[in-house]
């Protein structure tokens, strides 16, 4: 799904890919980081630790705000987004937390640019490169994802009980993850 963040004059694509070829994804990232332009940023995430598109939307929003206010931790917007998405201040921990790994099968893709056509071209290149099927359902919270997200974001059952409204546990998990994303900005 593509969003326009007017305040930052950026388009943001957040989507999911199913059954990726990990080595191809890793090769794509390495090749494109070397020739990255200032108007295009790409980041891959292990979809098993992404709590819906909303999670990455708010991570991106926080990363863009960090660059705007010069409170960014990293020098690269793509890296800043993984820091926020993982709620980690250290790049290595962020990558270990929610970056793609050799066993990653489903991947979330984030592309940021001022040019929506450039985003679509890049997305088509990524799909072809990783030989994956587009499937945004990999971003939805399933029972197995719920367990992983609770563990990795250290969400306790008591905390979850406190924020669950009308039995909507999945929405509560999304909200707690987004809260952790936002809290990273206060840790500067």
- Spatial separation of the C-alpha atoms in residues 11 and 40, rounded to whole Å: 10
Residues 6+ apart with CB under 8 A from 54: 174, 178
Residue 27 pLDDT? 73
Tokens coding 132? 């994956």
Q: Which stretches of the chain score pLDDT less than 70?
A: 24, 31-38, 166, 188
- Spatial separation of the C-alpha atoms in residues 36 and 32, rounded to whole Å: 6
In this structure, which CATH number among 3.40.50.300, 2.60.120.1440, 3.30.2380.10, 3.90.1300.10 belongs to the domain 2-187?
3.30.2380.10
Name the pTM for this structure.
0.91
Residue 151 pLDDT? 94
- Spatial separation of the C-alpha atoms in residues 10 and 115, rounded to whole Å: 8
Residue 132 pLDDT? 84
Tokens coding 110? 């984030």
The residue extents of the domains of the chain are: 2-187
């Amino acid at each position: 799904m593509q969003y326009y963040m007017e305040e930052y004059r950026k388009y943001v694509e957040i989507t999911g890919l199913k059954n990726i070829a990990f080595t191809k994804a890793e090769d794509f990232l390495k090749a494109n980081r070397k020739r990255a332009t200032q108007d295009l940023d790409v980041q891959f995430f292990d979809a098993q630790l992404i709590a819906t598109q909303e999670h990455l939307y708010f991570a991106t929003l926080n990363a863009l705000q960090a660059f705007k206010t010069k409170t960014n931790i990293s020098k690269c917007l793509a890296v800043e987004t993984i820091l926020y998405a993982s709620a980690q201040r250290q790049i290595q921990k962020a990558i270990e937390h929610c970056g793609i790994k050799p066993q990653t099968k489903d991947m979330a893709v984030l592309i940021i640019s001022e040019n929506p056509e450039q985003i679509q071209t890049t997305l088509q290149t990524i799909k072809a490169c990783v030989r994956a099927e587009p499937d945004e359902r990999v971003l939805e919270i399933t029972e197995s994802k719920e367990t992983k997200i609770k563990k990795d974001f250290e969400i306790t059952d008591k905390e979850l009980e406190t924020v669950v409204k009308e039995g909507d546990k999945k929405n509560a998990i999304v909200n707690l993850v987004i809260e952790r994303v936002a809290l990273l900005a206060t840790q500067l």
